Amino acid sequence: MQHLNMQNQFKLIINGQSCLGEAGELEIINPATAAIAAKCAQASIAQVNQAIEAAKQAFRSWQRSSHEERKSILNKIADGIEQHAETLAELIVLEQGKPLALAQMEVQGAIGWTRYTASLEMPVDIVEDSEQKRIERHYQPLGVVASITPWNWPLMIAVWHIMPALRAGNVVINKPSEFTPLATLKLCEIIQQEVPAGVISIVVGNGEIGEALSSHPDIAKVVFTGSTKTGQHIMSGAVKTLKHLTLELGGNDAGIVLPDADLDQIAKRIFNVAFLNAGQTCAALKRLYVHESQYDALAQKLADIANAQNVGDGMAAETTFGPVQNQLQYQKVKALIADALAQGAKALSGDQIVPEQGYFIAPTILTGLDESCRVVQEEQFGPVLPILKYRDIDDAIARANASEFGLGGSIWSSDLKAAQFYASQLQCGTAWVNTHAEIVPHAPFGGWKMSGVGAEFGMEGLLENTVGQTVHINKL
């Protein structure tokens, strides 16, 4: 971490100015050591209100900026992220825990998503163009957007929230997770260098700060990524002023392996998408259904891959698997594993030696369990994968769909036609064939059921940051 200076650099940004927090300092824990890694400014509710007032003033002129101007600014922001890529990656490892190579991928993803968003053209739909009249459908910016981001992919998800909002002509106030604010503070510092004062602000704090931001009457839209429970609370608070919402919430994604699948081809892929970011990914594969004819063989292959992982500090060159991000989540995942074992499940992996300090759990493959176990019913959001046996594919589909969540799902097979047919029966916002958790900036992503409202990415995601306006023009 020789590139980072942890002294006096993590401040809020309000109305174009770096400032200390009126609520003191927040201690940031390194999950690889469970020790304090840095301190950053913590906002007061009064500072949240200041940020909103500054954003309202900035919106008056920012909404009138041209599309070409905004596109140019987003590309300059992407250049800035690129210039600070090394620092951003190290900050992500420090606060979130993922291995450096994965943090570097997160930074590159942030650059790519920013440039893609810059490339989008805001559409004008021609509804009618006759001799008598012309009717056009335009898309106008909403105003002040509140962005509340989680701790698992702190930089990437902030980019997903902020860039489409700015591209559409909105102004943004971000509240990052209090567990992982550092990389997002740096991102907003980069953005601030390219935009007028008040167009971007960042306030750091606990749920009280998020509540003050998301419930404020002058917030036009809230975009939130996180738990379903918090999303429900935000949705309830939006009713009074009918705020626009984009909510990307929890998931308990199922994958189904058909009997014809080539296990040697898919085992490593399944492991990677189930344990991406140590399983701390909304759309990671979280339940795996395997036909009884291949159950034992695939479970053992996955266990062998799990047992070969090098669990440790993300900055160590040999590390392939990082820690759980925070103590509360660590305790939850440990409890889910213990509950499954108490009900008769068998752990085929997870007993390798891990560092004593920090929130480390080795990747754990569980077999011999059913849907009655909490580890199957609940979103684990950690390094554990329950593998369930099925005999009939229709039964497997029904069991996969028997969840309150509907974020993603996947079918694994050598028969692409059959796989696509069964994928279409999964009740989820994104269905994959022979992969999972794979996202691209040009394909919309969102959840069904309790997994969310609205969509991100692509033109659909951009237009979620606008309000439609139909213009009727009579040709005199």
For 19, what's the count of Cα atoms within 13 Å in the CB-facing half-sphere?
18
Identify whether the C-beta of residue 244 lies closer than 8 Å to the C-beta of residue 464. Answer: yes
Look at residue 1 and tell me if it is in a domain: no
Instruction: Say if residue 456 is in the same domain as residue 359.
Output: no
Percent of the chain past pLDDT 90, that is, above it, reads 98
For residue 254, report the phi and psi dihedrals to the nearest 5 degrees: -105, 145
Q: Is residue 344 part of a domain?
A: yes
Q: Report the domain count for the chain.
A: 2
Burial readout 147-163 (b: 16 or more C-beta within 10 A, e: otherwise): bbbbbbbbbbbbbbbbb
Question: For the segment 455-471, what is each residue's pLDDT rounded down to a tens digit?
Answer: 999 999 999 999 999 99
Residue 455: what residue type? A
- Residues 213 and 278 occupy one common structural domain: no
322 with 186, same domain?
A: no
- 54 shares its domain with 195: yes
Q: Are residues 276 and 242 in the same domain?
A: no
Q: What is the CATH number of the domain that holds 395?
A: 3.40.309.10
Q: Strand order in 171-175's β-sheet?
A: 17-19, 12-14, 200-202, 171-175, 144-148, 221-225, 244-248, 452-453
244 and 260 belong to one structural domain: no
CA pair distance 458, 228, nearest whole angstrom: 23
User: Both 121 and 243 in a single domain?
Assistant: yes
State yes or no: is 248 an active-site residue: yes
One domain for residues 211 and 273: no
Give the structural domain span for 326.
Answer: 254-433
Q: Kindly state whether residue 36 falls inside one of the protein's structural domains.
A: yes
Instruction: Count Cβ atoms within 10 A of the Cβ of residue 320 and give its class: 0-12 exposed, 13-18 middle, 19 or more buried.
Output: middle
The answer to whether residue 260 sits within a structural domain is: yes
188 with 273, same domain? Answer: no
- pTM (2 d.p.): 0.97
- The catalytically annotated residue of 95, 178, 211, 248 is 248
Retrieve residue 215's tokens.
């419930």
Please list, in sequence order, all residues whose beta carbon lies within 8 angstroms of the beta carbon of residue 36, skipping any fewer than 6 positions away.
27, 28, 29, 30
Same domain, 458 and 387: no
**CATH number of the domain to which 127 belongs:** 3.40.605.10
Q: Residue 445 phi/psi, 5° resolution?
A: -140, 125
pLDDT over threshold 90, residue 35? yes
Q: Same domain, yes or no, for 88 and 187?
A: yes
**CA–CA gap between residue 283 and residue 277 (Å, rounded):** 11
166 within some domain: yes
438 located within any domain? no
pLDDT at residue 3, as a whole number: 55
pLDDT, one tens digit per residue, over 53-63 is 999 999 999 99
Helix (H/G/I), strand (E/B), else coil: 466: strand
Assess whether 241 and 262 both reside in one domain. no
Tens of pLDDT, residues 148-187: 999 999 999 999 999 999 999 999 999 999 999 999 999 9
Q: Is residue 420 part of a domain?
A: yes
